[in-house]
């Protein structure tokens, strides 16, 4: 950034802050930086990264950089200098999926919810925008702690449609909003392009509470049920994470006892249950496929809660160590949700050091530190496929395509859940991979490969996009990964954090 551009951005930041009525100290708290750093920004004495500009735009709810400022606002890309050995340590951030569920569940609470160490990712930003648009007061206390206060009556007619359609998580509002209003509507869900992802399992679960949902042009029309204190027992036809969460949130504000069978016991579901217990909701069977929930018709509790670490991010960072043949320590790995993945990796020849266990900030989840060691890998003897927890996580499956590319032999990966995701992994071939698409659900990977640099556009699915970035770390030369919004939906500052352990990645815009 030139001095003239830095000064121009400084003026725009100062004006945006003044329009908010904020002090430099308040902006510093929102950004998780110091007041002196904000002062230097506003004086044009400190270069401001694209990531920092984007974060301020999210906080202010307006554009900071415009065409007139000489810094044309475009989509963001990554430039990766690969072939570097990594070293050092990096912490796993809190769970994206748990954070989204907790944001939705905060609507059940009439008191103040403070979520600690919440991931500052685009998916969270979209839900915060949604909540703000219907009257919820969302205040960042610092870089990662969010305070949430809902009004007595939500303004559902003012819901931010654009934000809703950029996330699939909007469907998870149906449970907490069960009988918020006699009738209302929410926009269709968006998110990753992973083929047909039916919302019917959500509807089947919520019909058990009397909710009536009909599809209209671009919206779900909702007729709320009358409040009741009935006991109910039902079976989910799909052991889905978000389906289970929607059913749990609906049950949490019903005074009767709800038994949910074939429930997902996955990490984000457990975090949601621990939070609800803090609100005084009785939840039994956490970690099993049968949940018994006795709710409360009115919940008014001031609560602080810290979601646990993200096993998918942990797998991403472990993959970075494997693909670069590096010794890297990944701290705060939620081992309960990684044991199958690590067992499969052990069978492929992966060597690592595991620390003693300790507890996450939520007081429940078991954590360890994993140190990756340079390893000679061989192809998996059996196909690698996902299963509901405690099986191999569906979102961790794509990383095995990158890892298998480092292994001697051919590995079969069966992604039976999604119609499209396996196709996106063939983009690894542009980096020198040998990925063969067998059908929409199956690929085989032959290794080891010699990765090479390339320019690739991000596929419209989070985990395959992250896989391409990780492969670029091992590809000698300079690669470009273009339009990384999908990665920023699920990872907070992934490039910067990889840089702290020796990667060379920079953000740029055209």
- The pLDDT tens digits for 328-372 are 999 999 999 999 999 999 999 999 999 999 999 999 999 999 999
pLDDT at 72 over 70: no
Residue 162 pLDDT: 80
Residue 177 pLDDT: 92
- The pLDDT tens digits for 383-393 are 999 999 999 99
Q: Which residue has the tokens 């870089």?
A: 143
Residue 311 has which token pair? Answer: 């096993």
More confident residue, 28 or 347: 347
pLDDT at 73 over 60: no
Residue 189 pLDDT: 66
- The pLDDT tens digits for 449-505 are 999 999 999 988 889 999 999 999 999 999 999 999 889 888 988 999 999 999 999
Residue 292 has which token pair? Answer: 């018994």
Rounded to whole angstroms, the Cα distance separating 464 from 444 reads 15
Yes or no: say if 148 and 138 are a contact pair by the CB < 8 Å rule.
yes
Residue 63 pLDDT: 66
Question: pTM (2 decimals)?
Answer: 0.84
Residue 65 pLDDT: 61
More confident residue, 478 or 214: 478
Query: Which region among 12-16, 67-71, 364-368, 379-383 has the lowest average model confidence (pLDDT)?
Result: 67-71
More confident residue, 324 or 141: 324
Give me the percent of the chain exceeding a pLDDT of 70: 93
DSSP 375-435: ---B--SS-B---STTS--TTTTTHHHHHHTTSBEEEEEE--S-SSHHHHGGGGGGGT--E
- The pLDDT tens digits for 307-318 are 999 999 999 999
Yes or no: say if 508 and 50 are a contact pair by the CB < 8 Å rule.
yes
Q: What are phi and psi of 146, to 5 degrees?
A: -115, 130
Most confident of 5-19, 34-48, 170-184, 185-199: 170-184
Residue 113 pLDDT: 98
Query: Which region among 195-209, 215-229, 416-430 has the lowest average model confidence (pLDDT)?
Result: 195-209
Yes or no: say if 179 and 406 are a contact pair by the CB < 8 Å rule.
no
DSSP 215-241: EETTEEEEEPPPP----EEEE-SS--H
């Amino acid at each position: 950034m030139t001095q003239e551009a830095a000064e121009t951005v400084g003026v725009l930041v100062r004006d945006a802050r003044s329009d908010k009525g904020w002090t430099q100290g308040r902006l510093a708290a929102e950004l998780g930086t110091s007041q002196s750093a904000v002062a230097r920004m506003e004086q044009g004495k400190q270069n401001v990264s694209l990531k920092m500009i984007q974060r301020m735009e999210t906080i202010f709810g307006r554009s900071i950089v415009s065409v007139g400022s000489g810094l044309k606002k475009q989509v963001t890309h990554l430039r990766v200098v690969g072939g570097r050995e990594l070293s050092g340590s990096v912490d796993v951030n809190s769970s994206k999926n748990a954070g989204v569920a907790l944001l939705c569940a905060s609507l059940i609470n009439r008191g103040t919810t403070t979520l600690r160490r919440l991931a500052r990712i685009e998916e969270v930003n979209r839900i915060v925008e949604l909540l703000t648009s219907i009257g919820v007061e969302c205040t960042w206390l610092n870089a990662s702690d969010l305070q949430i206060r809902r009004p007595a009556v939500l303004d559902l007619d003012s819901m931010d449609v654009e934000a809703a359609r950029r996330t699939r998580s909007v469907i998870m509002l149906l449970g907490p909003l069960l009988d918020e209003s006699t009738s209302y509507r929410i926009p269709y869900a968006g998110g990753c392009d992973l083929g047909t992802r039916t919302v019917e399992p959500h509807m089947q679960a919520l019909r058990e509470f009397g909710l009536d949902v009909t599809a209209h042009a671009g919206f779900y029309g909702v007729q709320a049920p009358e409040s009741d204190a009935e006991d109910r027992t039902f079976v989910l036809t799909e052991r889905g994470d978000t389906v289970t969460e929607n059913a749990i949130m609906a049950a949490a504000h019903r005074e009767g006892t709800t038994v949910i069978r074939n429930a997902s016991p996955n990490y984000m579901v457990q975090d949601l249950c621990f939070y609800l217990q803090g609100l005084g909701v009785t939840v039994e069977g956490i970690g099993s496929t049968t949940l018994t929930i006795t709710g409360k018709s009115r919940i008014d509790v001031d609560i602080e809660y810290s979601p646990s670490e993200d096993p998918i991010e942990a797998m991403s960072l472990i993959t970075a160590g494997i693909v670069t043949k590096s010794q890297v320590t990944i701290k705060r790995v939620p081992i309960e949700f990684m044991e199958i993945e690590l067992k499969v990796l052990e069978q492929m020849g992966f060597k690592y050091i595991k620390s003693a266990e300790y507890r996450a900030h939520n007081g429940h989840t078991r954590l360890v530190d994993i140190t990756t060691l340079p390893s000679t890998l061989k192809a998996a003897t059996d196909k690698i496929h996902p299963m509901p927890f405690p099986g191999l996580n569906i979102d961790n499956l794509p990383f095995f395509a990158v890892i298998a590319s480092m292994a001697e032999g051919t590995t079969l990966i069966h992604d039976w859940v999604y119609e499209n995701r396996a196709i996106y992994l063939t983009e690894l071939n542009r980096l020198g991979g040998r990925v063969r698409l067998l059908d929409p659900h199956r690929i085989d990977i032959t290794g080891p490969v010699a990765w090479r640099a390339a320019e690739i556009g991000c596929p419209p699915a989070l985990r395959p996009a992250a896989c391409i970035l990780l492969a670029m770390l091992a590809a000698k030369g300079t690669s470009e990964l273009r339009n990384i919004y999908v990665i920023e939906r699920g990872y907070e500052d992934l490039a910067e954090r990889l840089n702290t352990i020796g990667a060379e990645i920079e953000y740029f815009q055209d």
